[in-house]
Amino acid sequence: MIRGTFMSMTAKELAKKLGVSQAAVSLAFNGKPGISEETRQRILAAADEHQVHHTVRKQSNAVIDVVCYKKHGMVVGETPFFSALMEGIFTSASALNCTVHISYVYGDNGLGEAISENSVGLILIATEMTDKEDIEPFLRLNKPMVVLDALFRYRNFNCVTIDNQKGAYDATRCMIDHGHRRIGHLKSSVTIRNFIEREDGFLAAIADAPGCTSMT
């Protein structure tokens, strides 16, 4: 069912006007759960009023599994970074008319139960993965997979991550360029790949600047 004939307002503008999130607008347009029926009808009515072109889709049985890997559970948690990450996943999955199923696993314990029967793919939040062996149980699932917040080089799957080493290098170089010669690096007692890569970038910048010393 197509509602409206042309677009005079974007979905983003509609969300701002109604004081709701873009994810809520997407859920309303795609007939997905996650918002109240009152909110859904208010969004659809406003979309008609402002002639926002959209399609109300029937809910699909397809599921995207989001697995949060925990080795110690001291990094992955309710932080602004992970909240924004999950909102992006939900918004994109909604646009594809897929349901998101979230689970948490320690190592590979409970991995079988974490994968849905109707799963079409896996998003693995691998922040706490530190060894290449950590990824092996997930590869054996034979599911389309995207790994977030960790990089496994020379493996046949897609990774989306931060360039930790370059970021730390550039930040340290900025301090050096402003005349600082004794530069500290605050470390964590918890080890994850991100922290190791940032320290590598910091030390590389110090090594490239004669006369600079590190305080770690």
Q: What pLDDT, in 10s, does the model give residues 68-87? A: 888 877 776 667 788 788 88
pLDDT tens digits in sequence order for the chain, 216 residues long: 334 334 457 888 888 889 998 888 888 887 776 788 888 888 888 888 777 766 655 556 788 999 988 887 777 666 778 878 888 888 888 778 788 888 888 877 778 778 888 889 999 999 888 878 888 889 888 889 999 998 887 788 899 999 999 999 999 999 999 999 999 999 888 888 888 899 999 999 999 998 888 876
How many Å apart are CA 155 and CA 148, to the nearest integer? Answer: 14
Greatest distance between any 2 Cα atoms in the chain? 69
Structure tokens at 211: 């006369």
pTM over 0.85: no
* 216 touches 199 (CB < 8 A): yes
User: Which ranges constitute the DSSP H helices of 19-108?
Assistant: 22-29, 37-49, 80-95
